[in-house]
Structure 1
Amino acid sequence: MEEKTRDFLAGRIKDLATRAYMNNFVTHTDFLSVSELACFYQILASEGVSSNSNIYCGARFVVYGGAKEAERAMVCFLPDYLDEESFLLAEKEEPTVLECVRIRPVNAKFADDLNHRDYLGSVMNLGIERDQIGDILIDERQAFLFATSDIAEMLCKELIRIRHTSVKCEKVKVSDCNVEPRFEEVSGSVASERIDAILAFVYHLSRSEAQKLIESESVFIDGKTAYSGGYDLKPGARVSAKGHGKFIYLGTTNTTRKGRLFVKIKLFA
């Protein structure tokens, strides 16, 4: 992330945290990307703040994207009368920082088989900025999209078609979204647990292509930018690669006679 962007984010979160602490009300960022969330934690670390303490500039914070383990999320700073559990319970029933929009075809029988790119493209074509919408979770013939309150209202009025499919949108409770991310488990052999080797295996790249992806700062491990292809993945590590997707590394299962490792991956659809 460019230093100018990092400095802007640092100033923004400090201002939001201070306002929440001084004025005793909830403040929050827009939806942050994986790289921006990684930058947020880097800012905390650079100022000697432990992310485990969940307190910055006197205010308790919660990273919240609506869905369980959301990839895109807001950083919410809480007043002293709210703890994390109370905030999350309240948001699921009466949202104040983000809304959940359910998108369904008007006629399911004639609907296209829509994917994430279709939904996102149609939303962006309305002139909506990416930081105003969070994750989009797809379940058969419907999708749940998380957005800021103003944008959720706009989507319900203006999003009427995705590709050739007429759709209808309605705001629902966050708790009504029970869609879990879809994934498949894949396994195969690699030379080592290095991130470049695992990336090459998962996305069918050459090692040099995987290395270039890392050098462009497009690979994130547990929300933090991967700067070296020599980093060994640990079981449970969450990896995302811009333009390719995301997966969870589950670890090794066996070793071949020639020393290659059999690994297992949970690859998200």
Structure 2
Amino acid sequence: MNIYQHFRPEEREFIDQVLQWKSYVETKYAPKLTDFLDPREQHILKMLIGDQGDVKYQLFGGYPEVERSRALLLPDYLSVTQDDFQITLFEIDYPSKFVTIEHPQVLGSLMSLGLKRGKFGDILFKEDRIQFFVANEVKDYIQNNLQSIGRASIKLKAIELGNAISSQELWGENELTVSSLRLDTVISGIHHLSRQKSQMFIQQGIVKVNWTLIENSSFECAEGDLISVRGHGRAKIMSIDGKTKKEKWRINVGKQK
């Protein structure tokens, strides 16, 4: 059976990576820790590793409700602790009375350090407090080099994972029936828009799937995808629950409140 046929062509490289991780654990009898994975990557890993083999996996991103998590693949006879995921939580100290810092600024500043997106996890906001998770192997580099965000001078303080602030993101789940899994059709169903309006948003370059700009209206959505439309918020495809008798797709979607 061709395993790639169940996934997107552009996901082939990541599929090969997961299979290499699995092979490493099987042959070396040693655990393998990944970078932070987005929801779609986590879904692919779950599908490929499964629950019945000699290799098991656990996911942890520093906090129970995070979006991005590191995966730990390991032989089924080993146990796991939180420390095994090697995650540091930073809180940003900045002059909050005088400046405002937003999510895109934090993300942009981290990316400007030359790091891969996989080296840091969720960015948490609550009122004027900001925190973010990073992989331990880059924590010193980030602490030494991230000294400003936007116009604000900042300092980073490493704190216990248990002190993570509760994210303000709330997701309201509901079931939709859509005629296809095309991106324009799914956006129309989620946001109650016409297909023409959805296609216009895609053509304007304001639609991202899993943090990647998508300009193809016929792009096929899949379980685990996170879809953002600028000005309309974000939505997750929690599950795809098969077809109705009229050959329409039933999907469960979480929409950011």
Q: TM-score range by the shorter chain?
A: 0.5 to 0.7
1:151 partnered with 2:156: no
Answer whether contact 2:55 2:73 (CA < 8 A) is retained: yes
Report the counterpart of residue 61 of structure 1 in structure 2.
Answer: 57
Q: TM-score, normalised by structure 2?
A: 0.67
Cα RMSD between the aligned structures?
A: 3.5
Q: Which amino acid aligns with 1:59?
A: V
Compared CA separation, residues 75 and 186, structure 1 to 2 (3 A): closer
Q: What count of residue pairs does the alignment treat as equivalent? A: 216
Which of 115, 140, 162 aligns to 2:102? It is 115
Deviation at 1:155, TM superposition (A): 1.6
Name the counterpart of 2:36: 31
Paired residue for 1:259?
A: none
For structure 1, the residue ranges without an aligned partner over 5 or more in a row are: 225-239, 251-264
What is the alpha-carbon distance in structure 1 between the residues aligned to residue 173 and residue 15 of structure 2? 39
3-state SS in 2 of match to 1:146: strand
Distance 1:209 1:97, change over 3 A: farther
Q: How does 1:1-269 map to 2 (within 5 A)?
A: 3=9, 5-42=10-47, 44=48, 51=50, 53=51, 55-56=52-53, 58-83=54-79, 87=80, 90-91=81-82, 94=83, 96-105=85-94, 107-110=95-98, 112-183=99-170, 193-194=177-178, 199-200=187-188, 203=191, 205-210=193-198, 215=217, 217=219, 219-221=221-223, 223=224, 240-244=226-230, 245-247=233-235, 267-268=255-256
Following superposition, the deviation at residue 25 of structure 1 comes to 3.1
- Mapped partners of 2:160, 2:92: distance in 1: 13
Tell me, in whole angstroms, the C-alpha distance in 2 between the residues paired with 1:218 and 1:151: 35
8 Å CA contact 1:21–1:80 kept in 2: the answer is no
Deviations 1:203-230 (A, max 9, x none): 5743234366684537554x05xxxxxx
Deviation at 1:75, TM superposition (A): 2.4
- Structure 1-normalised TM-score? 0.65
Instruction: Give the distance between the partners of 2:192 and 2:93, measured in 1 at CA.
Output: 34
Structure 2 CA distance, aligned partners of 1:113 and 1:185?
28
* Structure 2 stretches lacking a partner, 5+ long: 1-6, 208-215, 239-252
| CA-CA distance at 1:120 after TM superposition | 0.3
1: CA distance between counterparts of 2:163 and 2:218?
38
Identity %: 21
